[in-house]
Structure 1
Amino acid sequence: MDENIRQVHVGIIGSGCSGLVTLKELLEEGHQCTVFEKSNSIGGLYTQAYQQGIFVSSHLLTMFGDFIGNDENILSQPRMLSFIEYSQYLNDYAEHFHLKEFIKFQTEVKSLWKDYSENKWKILLNNDQQIYTFDRIAICCGVYGNINMPIFKNQHLFQGKIKHLKHIQFYEDFKDKQVCIVGSGESASDMILAAAQFGKKAFLSIRNDHGFIVPRYIHGDRYGPADLDTSRVHHSIPRAWGVLHTYIDMINSLIKSYLKCLIYQRGKSTDYDKVRRAGIYMNLKQIKTSNVWTTFGTKNSNLVEALVKYNDKCFRKSGIKELKTNSIIFEDNSEEYVDEIICCTGFQNSFPFIEQSDQADSNLKRIVNEAKISHNLYKHCIHPDFGDEICWIGFARPALGAIPPLMELQARWFALLCSNKLKLPTKSDMLKQISKYVKYLEWQLTPYRVNRITSLTDYLIYSDDLSRTIGCRPNFTRIFFTEPKLWIKLMCGPLLNAHYRLCGPHAKPIQAKEIILKAKWVKQPNILYFFMLICYAFFWLVFGIESCKPAAWYPL
């Protein structure tokens, strides 16, 4: 073995999807690991969320790059898994890679600190006085532990209930109630439709723009999940041309919708058609401030269905101005009586095992406080003051795309850092790159969104950046000449994490090719994106127009 390669003992906090994939990648690099999980099962958030919840990313995009799961047909017949099904997928993943023996269940971490005399990290549990010692720490506790609740003016006067999304278990809880849903993300979209279906009246309070609305399925589930057009060619469209791209994309969708209605449905629109068109018009209405590249995606058109299908009792409202005893005054000065307010306002990063630790020093507490702003970490993972000694995994949220594939790339990178096969830049270089990265995010996603959702990133650009660092980004030029069939699926098929298993450390090229070639893809939109991309690339290569340079074709 190379004398520079090292093996370390890593403590992992949490056994949700980020903790599991981190454990698996560290074990494959030969490291010793212990996982601390405060519950009695793996799965994290998905074992606790509302039980009727369904993913907004298809299993193709959500799955890890080297594990399909036990349903082989899901590559050719992809769908959105329920939260319960995804929990089972994580259990199957843990069984397949023999991970459970390394997990200590019902062990909540009480305190984490660094012992500088030994240059080791120490963990103390709530129910155990034994102190565990580690060389490295992976924080994989997720972003869903600490709810983010708004404070409304005159909130103390309100006699109804104010809840967070996390407190909702069943949609039937809304039965016979007048409910106001606050937020316009994917969970809010589920909640407003449930409130419209089961409640007396439902109000959707959106302070500013809603997210870019994408339905879960294209023209119904027969055609497959909508995110099948989350392809490399699509996400390589230059970000500076977001408004034009949005117009072309939405007009293309409208034309297809009307042609489908005219040719196959004898001129009759289905409920799905009406909802899809309404969502397109909602996107177009705010295109100047929120196009496909400048905002997060609401990959769930349930909010549109609620407003269209239940227009007699479901209404969109502006932000909440103040509360009264039994009612809400909105920013437009309208007043509505409600029984409950459900805040789908996200979560805040929280690390109580350091923040409230008696053993942790002030420097560590300062660093963990800074780490709450995820984009201020190097690649959303590493604080420059501690380098690869401690790594935050699972704290990057793509504007469009799925979170678990990003976790897998982060875990692979961290495992190689632990082995000393990869090295970090100097502290000053990391700080410069962080500053450059945040400025780029603010340019693309606007300072308002980046400062409000500090974990927000761009799916393809971030994935390719990490894969370049790891050394697992495929050589697309070589594949074009040697395996054209694979190349077209890589470019126009869905953005699977199997792309990053074709080469590099822990590559599984035979399995990766099989997954990529079997995976379903939608041809029409991706062929359109392909020709659009060629046009942009032409103006960049021939005339040097920088704004036409395709995204992710070059390091950030």
Structure 2
Amino acid sequence: MAYPNLHLTISNRAMAFSDFPDPSRMRCSTARDYLLYLQDYARHFDLERHIRYRSEVCKATRGDDKQWNLSIKQTRDDENDESIIQLQADALIVATGGSQVPNDVPSQLAGFEGKIIHSNAYDKYFMREVAEKKLRVLIVGGGESGADISADLCELSPNLTVWLRRPPCVAIRYLNRLDEMQQMRANQTVDFPVSIFLEAITTNRLGAAQNVYLYSLFRRAVFYNGLIMSTRERWFLERLATAFLRSDQSTVITKSSRMCQALDKEKLEALITPFVSVSGRTCEFSLPDGTRQRREFDAILLCHGFRLEFPWLQLPDGIPFSPNPRSWFLHCFPEGLGDCLFFLGYARPGQGGIPPVAEMLSRYIALLLRDEKRLPADYAEQAQKDEAAEREYYYISPEVNSLVDYNAFMESVARRIGCETRMPLSCVIFFNLHILTVAFLALRWFSTTLIPFSISTLLMLWVGTAIGLCMLHDGLLLKWWLYPHWGVWYRYRGPGANPALLTALLTRLSLRKSISLDPIYIVYLVWFVLSTYIQRLLLISLFVPSAILSALGVRFPEGWGGLLRPKLFVLHSCEWRFSDFFLP
């Protein structure tokens, strides 16, 4: 769904496929920008000849001969010219996306007598009507579409209200307090440093190497700074009041602060309560403080999401099927059909983009179809364990069944493919020397007899190895740790490798121009370097129980200390190997 004035919530680099990095400036693309990128991709790989446009799958049946029989309705340029064609296939990939069937009108609003539209029908004509008639509009929902649309409409009419059942957890596209829309417009023609984009701190490898508690403490410290809090910061603390140690890792995140910024400027209002009733065109909101607010509306705009339905998919009797993506192994492979039915686009990263995740799965599917890889024999059982782990992890948003952790998911699939990134040997050696120096410093601090080196000698070694890490291969390790973990990192080795793509991108993005050392980012670096040292010391005590439980087929739950492991290995059956002790 591409509504007017849509901008993607992460950069074009994070939305690009790994075998075709976007060559243009790093920015938050418009819907048209991204469409042009997809068209360029199709031309580059000569895909147009394989695509049948204006086609609708009416029925897909799995026959006794293990073939898929598809009935496809095709419409020509003349919309009245339709035909049905039959097609057979050995395997079926479903990539229809999560925005399929709009959710029903909330029961509390069912009696509203004004206009009710869903965001999938929101267009420039409705915007014009709002502007000309100054319509009183109630927007339902605080996700990305609700945030962007409410910010646009409040510029057209002074009568905008947003209804939220609870405060959303809101992130910012750019890591500062400036007006988000103005920055997106400026970014179309001006280069911004990599470090200012949201994905620079949510998907980098340094953050993924921490456990969830260390990862979250930094965010808590940022919001408990004693300053006057904005709407976004206040909502953050309210939403996550029950998840002090887990912070935003426990919920779905709205990656647009435009609504919050409009609220701070008093251009619209937000009413937060699960309780609302309707009479005619009047809505009455029962607020948590016991008061009631009444508002008259001309229209209600629903930005409350979609649901998944696959009525055209007809499976043999006896094969269980659930439309819940968490019931599919890796949100892709349904039980009993993992060798012939695949779902792409139903793993939605809490941070990062859907396209690179879907592409990573497609690389795995290609190897499976060529019999070069095999699914685990117990993949259905693994899916059940993964579902339980995901529900435990994202316990504040249990209804968002597509939600995954970007880094853990990408790494899990990459390790099954064999394309996980490895640093050059010289980087690995210097990294281990550096960590060994840190361990010696810690031991020397507690005992003067265990380590035969002085503190000053060890500090010199620490500085020397740190400089080496920064200098080797034009700062490759720093880019590995600090740059977003774009899909192109997984083209460095393994099946489908094309390291020249990664090299070309990293060459264009020099550290000097890509890292902006503002105060918040400096604090971020200091905290995560220290927490990396702490996490490395924890690994020894965590790896053995994790390996034993994994061998026994038992999930390592939160109550047993499972979340003390690096975030990279907590979800999605991402294999934690002994070699990870020594790899940066």
Runs of 4+ with >6 A deviation: none
Determine which structure has more spread, i.e. the larger CA radius of gyration: 2
The Cα offsets for residues 317-351 of structure 1, whole Å up to 9 and x where unpaired, read as 32352211011122323221111111111111122
Aligned residue among 473, 476, 480 for 2:420: 473
- Judge conservation of contact 1:307–1:316 (CA < 8 Å) in 2: no
Q: Which runs of 5+ in 1 are unaligned?
A: 1-44, 259-273
Give the 3 Å change call, closer, same or farther, for CA 374–191 of structure 1 in structure 2.
same
Counterpart AA for 1:193: A
* 3-state SS of paired residue (1:334): strand
Shift in Å, 1:173: 4.3
Partner of 2:280: 325
* 3-state SS of paired residue (2:251): coil
Single out whichever of 394-403 and 346-355 deviates more from structure 2. 346-355
Shift in Å, 1:65: 1.1
Partner of 1:489: 479
Shift in Å, 1:415: 0.8
TM-score (ref. length: structure 2): 0.75
Counterpart AA for 1:139: V
Partner of 2:221: 248
* 3-state SS of paired residue (2:105): coil
- Judge conservation of contact 2:207–2:215 (CA < 8 Å) in 1: no
Give the 3 Å change call, closer, same or farther, for CA 326–94 of structure 1 in structure 2.
same
Partner of 1:288: 241
Partner of 1:198: 156
Give the 3 Å change call, closer, same or farther, for CA 201–380 of structure 1 in structure 2.
same
Cα distance between partner residues in 1 of 2:85 and 2:536? 63
Give the 3 Å change call, closer, same or farther, for CA 314–151 of structure 1 in structure 2.
closer
Percent pairwise identity: 21
The Cα offsets for residues 191-220 of structure 1, whole Å up to 9 and x where unpaired, read as 221232112311111112312332445454
Counterpart AA for 1:527: L
User: Are 2:135 and 1:177 equivalent residues in the alignment?
Assistant: yes
Counterpart AA for 1:188: G
User: Over aligned residue pairs, what C-alpha RMSD do you find?
Assistant: 2.5
* 3-state SS of paired residue (1:408): helix
Cα distance between partner residues in 1 of 2:477 and 2:143? 34
User: Are 2:147 and 1:189 equivalent residues in the alignment?
Assistant: yes
* 3-state SS of paired residue (2:331): coil
- Judge conservation of contact 2:169–2:239 (CA < 8 Å) in 1: no
- Judge conservation of contact 2:140–2:300 (CA < 8 Å) in 1: yes
Shift in Å, 1:494: 1.1
Aligned length: 469
Cα distance between partner residues in 1 of 2:215 and 2:293? 35
User: Are 2:20 and 1:62 equivalent residues in the alignment?
Assistant: no
Cα distance between partner residues in 2 of 1:488 and 1:154? 52
* 3-state SS of paired residue (2:567): coil
* 3-state SS of paired residue (2:68): strand
Aligned residue among 79, 91, 114 for 1:160: 114
Counterpart AA for 2:478: I
TM-score (ref. length: structure 1): 0.78
Partner of 1:434: 383
Cα distance between partner residues in 2 of 1:193 and 1:212? 14
Aligned residue among 385, 390, 394 for 1:445: 394
Cα distance between partner residues in 1 of 2:366 and 2:424? 28
Shift in Å, 1:278: 3.9
Shift in Å, 1:547: 4.5
Shift in Å, 1:400: 1.8
Aligned residue among 401, 404, 412 for 2:355: 404
Cα distance between partner residues in 2 of 1:129 and 1:155? 38
Partner of 1:12: none
Aligned residue among 190, 195, 198 for 1:226: 198
Cα distance between partner residues in 1 of 2:61 and 2:405? 33
Report matched runs for 1:80-479 at 5 Å.
Answer: 80-116=28-64, 118-126=65-73, 127-153=82-108, 155-156=110-111, 158-170=112-124, 171-175=127-131, 176-216=134-174, 218-220=176-178, 221=183, 224-230=196-202, 231-241=204-214, 243-250=216-223, 277-289=230-242, 291-311=247-267, 313-332=268-287, 333-354=292-313, 361-363=316-318, 366-367=320-321, 370=322, 372-426=323-377, 429-446=378-395, 448-450=396-398, 452-476=399-423, 478=425
Shift in Å, 1:503: 0.7
Shift in Å, 1:190: 0.7
User: Are 2:525 and 1:527 equivalent residues in the alignment?
Assistant: yes
Cα distance between partner residues in 2 of 1:167 and 1:129? 28
- Judge conservation of contact 1:380–1:396 (CA < 8 Å) in 2: yes
Counterpart AA for 1:62: M
Give the 3 Å change call, closer, same or farther, for CA 316–536 of structure 1 in structure 2.
farther
